[in-house]
Structure 1
Amino acid sequence: MDPLIRIFHWGLVGAFATAWLTAEEIQPVHEFAGYAVAALVGIRFVWGFVGSRYARFAQFVRGPAASLTYVADAARGREPRYLGHNPAGAAMIIALLVTLSGTAFTGWLMEEPARAAAAAHQLQFVVPALADDDDGEGRAGRGDAEGEAEGPLREVHETLANAMLLLVALHLVGVALASFRHQENLARAMVTGRKRPAGAGDIF
């Protein structure tokens, strides 16, 4: 397995975990971790076009029909083994990359009041301004332009971050299921770079 993909994978795990744990607690660390996430995702997008065979999007990204068919086959216990990413795993990778991109981008917008104000203006029709919270005073009610701008943008940022947790949980379930079904430790393969050789019926 591609060394850069393995470095990306574990680097992203560390960066996202750090960003999540330091949110609203240690802001400088949170921001640094967010920039690390953005850099890693950017590298992965580039590598998806110029990297090794199994790293390229063209090799593993398939349409919704292929992913649904794979999930249906997995539910019946007859899904084929893929040496690269299976269709469901490929869909998860795209979902993770898109969600991470949105999370990092909205975090970057909130770094500067001017950016946040421009973006929040566009988001008004999608996310209502936080006029009031449980204590009767929302973030947008801080009485300054920055608070008004950040309200809806922060809502989108936090929603995307929470969506990431759900996607990560589904990803772990999928990895555990595939590891059990095909008798190989995929988490270990992401460390060593080695998977069981192809057998009859495997897709590569």
Structure 2
Amino acid sequence: MVKVWDPMVRIFHWGLVLSFVVAWLSAESIDNLHHWAGYAAGGLIGFRLVWGLIGPRYARFTQFVKGPGTIAAFILAMLGGKERRYLGHNPAGGAMILTLLVSLGTTAATGWMMTLAQYAKADWVESLHEGAANLTLILVLAHIAGVLWVSWHHKENLAKSMVDGQKRAAENDDVS
């Protein structure tokens, strides 16, 4: 086993999970809790953007941000059950991270905008906020499905690795 996910990535990940779940569940009922969960999500996203530039190897955007051709080739290989195992994020996982950061960042930013006088009655801000939140939920479900698929296919519990930071060492054709 090798250490892949540093403590900051893991705290960010589970903190974002918690803030999104709390915000989602409190959306129509507990405004103050909903707002604070949104602020937490926004702060976590801001942290992750910085950590993606200065953090350790597997936290850095340069390690997992790939071009559209690489992402498409990985997804096609995955659909055929022939994708390579990655020690860090695979190309589809990297694309999902960026997409989730944008969708959840949009949700947090528009939620904050709704607390400002100039946007409090702007229907487009509320519509964008709700649309981004709904898109985030769909993306989270797709992320979970991808994690389950890759965990099953490579016989490796990826959720556990996001708790303890450990993954099986790279072998043969794996990408480290």
Post-superposition offset of 1:102:
0.5
Whether 1:30 aligns to 2:34 is: yes
Identity of aligned residues (%): 51
Aligned with residue 190 of structure 1, among 162, 168, 172: 162
Query: Could you tell me how far apart the structure 1 residues matched to 2:33 and 2:164 are?
Result: 30
Measured against aligned partners, the alpha-carbon deviations of 1:79-108 in whole angstroms (never above 9, x if no partner) come to 000000000000000000011111111011
- TM-score of the pair, normalised by structure 1: 0.83
| Number of the residue aligned with 2:131 | 159
The one of the two structures with greater contact order (alpha-carbon pairs below 8 A, sep at least 6) is: 2
Q: In structure 2, the residue corresponding to 1:113 is in which secondary structure?
A: coil
Alignment gaps of 5+ in structure 1: 117-145
Q: Which amino acid aligns with 1:8?
A: F
Alignment of 1:30-179 (within 5 A): 30-114=34-118, 116=119, 146-147=120-121, 149=122, 151-179=123-151
For the aligned residue pairs, the C-alpha RMSD in angstroms reads: 0.8
After superposing on structure 2, the runs of 4+ consecutive aligned residues of structure 1 that deviate more than 4 Å are: none
Alignment gaps of 5+ in structure 2: none
Post-superposition offset of 1:167:
0.1
Query: Could you tell me how far apart the structure 1 residues matched to 2:128 and 2:74 are?
Result: 32
Query: Could you tell me how far apart the structure 2 residues matched to 1:72 and 1:183 are?
Result: 20
| Number of the residue aligned with 1:18 | 22
Who wins on radius of gyration, i.e. which is larger?
A: 1
Count of aligned pairs: 172
